[in-house]
Structure 1
Amino acid sequence: MSTDELKINIAQRIFNISDEKILSKINDLLQSENIIGYRTDNSPIFERQYLLEMESQQESIKKGEAVFFTSDEIRKKIMNENHLGK
């Protein structure tokens, strides 16, 4: 079954559901898989994954484990890694 056929099949099945509990579960699943952006390699960033990463980073900051860089340090790093001169 192709992706488009699968989408149509799922949509038809959802339209035939009248049980609010099941529809709520489907909605929760779709919300948990909400794509909010894409990484540089075009892989999706899911909302739940993003929030977990942000929480992890906040914990690192609270524990004093986070490393911070100035804009100038980042610019120099990018320039050096891409051999763009000074």
Structure 2
Amino acid sequence: MNSEALKINLTQRILNLTDDKILYKISRLLDKENVVGFDVNGNPIYENEYVNDINSALNLLSEGKLETYSSEEVKRKILR
């Protein structure tokens, strides 16, 4: 089955579902696999990983443990 036929088949099956539990499972699976970008090596970055990384950085920032730089410090490091 080619990709287009698979999409049509899945769409028809999903539209015929009446069990909310299965619909929520499909939704969670799609959310888990949602690609929001790519890293410098071309590997996908999934939404849940991205959100976890942001939350982790925010926690470190609130604890005063996140290393940050001013614009001037970044400029100096780049121009060295």
Q: Normalization by structure 2: what TM-score?
A: 0.70
CA RMSD of aligned residues (A): 2.5
Instruction: Give the number of equivalent residue pairs.
Output: 77
- Which one-letter code corresponds to 1:59 in the other structure? N
User: Alpha-carbon deviation of 1:24?
Assistant: 2.4
User: What percentage of residue pairs aligned between the two structures are identical?
Assistant: 27
Q: Work out which structure has the larger RCO, using CA pairs closer than 8 Å and 6 or more positions apart in sequence.
A: 2
Tell me which residue corresponds to 2:12.
15
Distance of 1:76 and 1:5 partners within structure 2: 53
Tell me which residue corresponds to 2:42.
42
Gaps of 5+ in 1: 81-86
Gaps of 5+ in 2: none
Distance of 2:43 and 2:4 partners within structure 1: 20
Q: Normalization by structure 1: what TM-score?
A: 0.66
